[in-house]
Amino acid sequence: TAPCTLTRVCTHKVASAVCSSLSTLSVSVVCLDMALRLRLLARQLRVGRAAMSSNTDSAGSVRAAGGSFSKKEQAQEDQYFHNLELEKLRKLREETEHHHQEEIDHHKESIEDLEEQIRRHKRKIERHKKKLPDSDSDSD
C-alpha cells in the first residue's frame, strides 16, 4: 500500500501546486488589468487638460467678450473639471482598494487551506505512529 499512498500524496502535491499557480496567475491578470486602467485614466486626464487649455480663447460668446463674466465662467469651468477629476480619482481609489482587499481575502483563504492540509498531515502522522510497533519491544 505504500506506493499507492505515495502516489496519492504526490498527485495531491502536484494538484495543489497547479491550483496555486492558477490562482497566482489570475491575481496577476487582475493586477495587470488594474494597471492598464490606471494608465488609460491618466492619459484621459492629460488629454482632457490639454483640450481645456487649448480651447480657452474661443470658448463661447461670453468669454470672447471678455470682462468679469468671462473670468467667472472660466472659474466655473475650471471648478467643474477639477471636481470631475477628483471624482474619477475617488472612484479609482475605491476600485484599487477593493481589488487589494480581494487579494488579501484570497491569500487568507489560501493560508487557511494550507493550514488545514498541515493539520490533516499531522493527524496522518499520528495515526501512522500509533500503528507502528515500538522498536524497543522487538529487541527484547
Burial of 43 (0-12, 13-18, 19+ CB in 10 A): exposed
Q: Residue 124: pLDDT band by 50, 70, 90 thresholds?
A: very high
Residue 125 has pLDDT above 60, yes or no: yes
Place of cell 477639477: 82
- Angle formed by the axes of helices 2-54 and 68-131, to 10°? 180
**103-119 pLDDT, tens digit each:** 999 999 999 999 999 99
pTM listed for this prediction: 0.40
Give 66's DSSP letter. Answer: -
Between 29 and 7, the more confident residue is 29
CB 95 within 8 A of CB 88: no
**The three cell numbers locating residue 98:** 477593493
**18-65 pLDDT, tens digit each:** 556 656 666 666 777 777 777 777 777 776 666 655 555 555 565 666
